[in-house]
Chain A
């Protein structure tokens, strides 16, 4: 087309060697004018107030205090979550147990068949009740507290502190931001890697994002840590130790992120990190009530609804699988028994692996499916309180090693279905999507295997 050719003729109007010069000139003119406009319309009344953010940053991002403050805040968040969640969790569990009694009475009154009661009450209702009582309270505390920190402007400071580590591992500093996003939802974080311009560094961020726990995995980590990891302690100490264990998990995830980034940047994704400027936004006092309400309602309800929505059909499916027999064992048990030897090798069991596999669509449902699996095989514990929950695990041969390795596997294993779909959408490559699945899976298997062998080797369990 004539129009196109005439445009092409103009495209090279500036010789290549002058381009930098022209851009520089344009930009400096822009800056000049902005300053001029600003001085005409802005009056600074109080210099002290203006530099408050800078003063705070000198503390929050200082070489000495940056990391201790970061770990301290993280610890406080976990402590509040664990300390606050216990009582409401037990209360909810009690409540659901009390309601169950009446539902069962109603079933009897209507002369409902035994299998229907089993399917709906023992499978669906109990599974769902456990999910709600176990997951709701920690989420209702954790999300608002985290959101307050985020709205205050602390997250970019975390990114700033971690920036140096990411650079050293050959990745882009902005990866610390996409990682922070992953603490909420890995699937969303995969999309947020668009802020990284270089394709190599963006791929690093995509492949390693899964190593930080998302909304769906926090409850699993917090619950297992509080049930099994601080057994010898009581009261405040118990909470403190639990908080430390969860924090340790997070740190371990970050270390794995850095290690994998480093290894990839030395092999498949070679290259040097590019420069960028990380903006530190001003600290803003969050709108307390607004933030708390939005975080609890939006995030908590979102995760819970997702869990219940997927967990309810999964509960029915699990119950059905557990009650259809081939020979003298149920389909579910066939599957579990098939996985069990491998699970034992990793310090877990067949049920746990089964839950991770069936729970692939969403991490939120791994724990519910596991519970339903256990409940469906005779260990029918009523929903009572947290001690009863622990008893379910103990009855199925759990030790603290089982809990530890399930936490590790949850932290490190393959990304959930939604995340994988997003990875494919963003990379448009089956190969990289498979790599994003394979790396975490291999690491999760390797780490849990090693931990199980060492702990058993020393005879600690």
Chain B
């Protein structure tokens, strides 16, 4: 049976590792502070007898090449192409979370959003309209509370439907200022000619425009390893260095 791969992405300290533990039954160390997870950890679970592999990405505020953990998370989403990228948003500080969400939506269509810490948000007197958010972003939005194990079944259900293609998404793509848009569109056309349909051309165009030299290097690396028959599983340099597990 096909095994699906799910990447967990989100801001630091939004409970990604807690959700990871709740789903996989593993005991990845969790704590209330930013930067707890600095490497990729993966675990497995079965839902309705379908095997799912969950990869816990480092928490980041953006996906520009600012530091090693941002590169690790970004390269995984773009180059390893998980079946679904599960974005964990902090319901108590949605604005900051959405910033990252908009960037991920540019990178891949297969995005599922879960609003974690709904219990905290409620305590803080925040009322969040998940349906409205889902309509605006064009992807499913599931409210959950990972540490109370609330909403996990709905989440797994939706995950599976997305993996099997039953749910089709139409993610919102960021629009930028006119002069930038014009440049993006021109670049996007050239890039999709060069790279074909396997890469998110619009997002890459924005990165080229932004002069993100580390991403360009990673992309060339990836293409070279594919050319040598490395296949889709050839890992990029950034990933290769950080595949280690957690000690302690």
Give chain A's interface residues, CB within 8 Å of chain B: 1, 3-4, 6-7, 10-14, 16, 19, 22-23, 25-27, 29-31, 33-35, 37-38, 40-50, 52, 150-153, 155-156, 159, 174, 177, 184-185, 187-188, 191-192, 194-195, 197, 279, 281-282, 284, 286-287, 290, 294, 298, 302, 418, 422, 425
Residue of B nearest to A4 (CB): B220
Provide the bound-state CA to CA distance between A192 and B209, in Å: 33
Residue of A nearest to B70 (CB): A197
Q: Which of A16, A33, A42, A282 contacts B94 (CB 8 A)?
A: A42
Tell whether, in the assembled complex, residue A418 and residue B247 are in contact, meaning their CB atoms are under 8 Å apart. Answer: yes
Q: Which stretch of B29-37, B76-84, B153-161, B229-237 is in the interface?
A: B29-37
Provide the bound-state CA to CA distance between A12 and B195, in Å: 18
* A contact face: mostly helix, strand, loop, or mixed: helix
Q: How far is the CB of A6 from chain B (nearest CB, A)?
A: 5
Tell whether, in the assembled complex, residue A23 and residue B210 are in contact, meaning their CB atoms are under 8 Å apart. Answer: yes
Residue of B nearest to A156 (CB): B33
Tell whether, in the assembled complex, residue B126 and residue A45 are in contact, meaning their CB atoms are under 8 Å apart. Answer: yes
B12 adjacent to chain A (CB < 8 Å): yes
Residues of chain A within 8 A (CB-CB) of B128 are 41-43
- Please judge, given known A-B contacts A7-B216, A26-B176, A279-B12, whether A153 and B124 are in contact too, CB under 8 Å: no
Residues of chain A within 8 A (CB-CB) of B180 are 22, 25-26
Residues of chain A within 8 A (CB-CB) of B194 are 3, 6-7
Q: Which of B27, B38, B125 contacts A192 (CB 8 A)?
A: B38
B163 adjacent to chain A (CB < 8 Å): no
Q: Which of A1, A27, A37, A48 contacts B137 (CB 8 A)?
A: A37
Residues of chain A within 8 A (CB-CB) of B126 are 42-45, 50
* B contact face: mostly helix, strand, loop, or mixed: helix
Give chain B's interface residues, CB within 8 Å of chain A: 12-13, 27, 31-35, 38-39, 62, 64, 66-69, 92-96, 98-99, 101-103, 120, 123-130, 132-133, 136-137, 147, 174-177, 180, 183, 187, 190-191, 194-195, 206, 208-211, 213, 216, 219-220, 223-224, 227, 242, 244, 246-248
Provide the bound-state CA to CA distance between A35 and B244, in Å: 37
Q: Which 10 A-B pairs have the closest CB atoms?
A: A46-B125, A188-B248, A34-B98, A45-B125, A185-B248, A43-B127, A153-B32, A195-B35, A41-B133, A41-B129
Residues of chain B within 8 A (CB-CB) of A13 are 183, 187, 208-209, 211
Residues of chain A within 8 A (CB-CB) of B133 are 37, 40-41
Provide the bound-state CA to CA distance between A23 and B208, in Å: 11
A153-B32, A284-B120 known; 6 new pairs, CB 8 Å cut-off, are A3-B194, A7-B219, A31-B99, A33-B174, A43-B126, A197-B67
Provide the bound-state CA to CA distance between A421 and B10, in Å: 31
Residues of chain B within 8 A (CB-CB) of A290 are 147
Tell whether, in the assembled complex, residue B125 and residue A281 are in contact, meaning their CB atoms are under 8 Å apart. Answer: no
Residues of chain A within 8 A (CB-CB) of B99 are 30-31, 34
Tell whether, in the assembled complex, residue A151 and residue B124 are in contact, meaning their CB atoms are under 8 Å apart. Answer: no
- Please judge, given known A-B contacts A29-B176, A34-B98, whether A14 and B34 are in contact too, CB under 8 Å: no
- Please judge, given known A-B contacts A44-B126, A279-B12, A298-B27, whether A152 and B32 are in contact too, CB under 8 Å: yes
- Please judge, given known A-B contacts A25-B176, A45-B127, whether A40 and B68 are in contact too, CB under 8 Å: no
Provide the bound-state CA to CA distance between A309 and B98, in Å: 48
Q: How far is the CB of B179 from chain A (nearest CB, A)?
A: 9
- Please judge, given known A-B contacts A7-B194, A41-B128, whether A188 and B219 are in contact too, CB under 8 Å: no
Tell whether, in the assembled complex, residue B27 and residue A38 are in contact, meaning their CB atoms are under 8 Å apart. Answer: no
Residues of chain B within 8 A (CB-CB) of A156 are 32-34
Residues of chain B within 8 A (CB-CB) of A155 are 31-33
Tell whether, in the assembled complex, residue B136 and residue A37 are in contact, meaning their CB atoms are under 8 Å apart. Answer: yes
Residues of chain B within 8 A (CB-CB) of A418 are 247
Residues of chain A within 8 A (CB-CB) of B64 are 23
Tell whether, in the assembled complex, residue B177 and residue A25 are in contact, meaning their CB atoms are under 8 Å apart. Answer: yes
Provide the bound-state CA to CA distance between A279 and B90, in Å: 14
Tell whether, in the assembled complex, residue A50 and residue B210 are in contact, meaning their CB atoms are under 8 Å apart. Answer: no
Q: Which of A26, A45, A191 contacts B206 (CB 8 A)?
A: A26
What are 22 A-B residue pairs whose CB atoms fall within 8 Å in the complex? A6-B190, A7-B216, A7-B219, A22-B209, A26-B206, A29-B175, A38-B95, A40-B129, A40-B132, A42-B94, A43-B126, A45-B126, A48-B125, A50-B124, A184-B248, A187-B248, A188-B247, A197-B67, A281-B34, A282-B120, A284-B32, A290-B147
Q: How far is the CB of A147 from chain B (nearest CB, A)?
A: 8
Residues of chain A within 8 A (CB-CB) of B195 are 3
Residues of chain B within 8 A (CB-CB) of A22 are 180, 209-211
Residue of A nearest to B148 (CB): A287
Residues of chain B within 8 A (CB-CB) of A42 are 94, 126-129
Residues of chain A within 8 A (CB-CB) of B130 are 41
Provide the bound-state CA to CA distance between A130 and B121, in Å: 48
Residues of chain A within 8 A (CB-CB) of B34 are 156, 279, 281
Residues of chain B within 8 A (CB-CB) of A38 are 94-95, 98
Residues of chain A within 8 A (CB-CB) of B66 are 197
Residues of chain B within 8 A (CB-CB) of A279 are 12-13, 34
- Please judge, given known A-B contacts A155-B33, A194-B38, whether A50 and B248 are in contact too, CB under 8 Å: no
Tell whether, in the assembled complex, residue B187 and residue A10 are in contact, meaning their CB atoms are under 8 Å apart. Answer: yes
Residues of chain B within 8 A (CB-CB) of A284 are 32, 120
Residues of chain B within 8 A (CB-CB) of A27 are 62
Residues of chain A within 8 A (CB-CB) of B147 are 287, 290
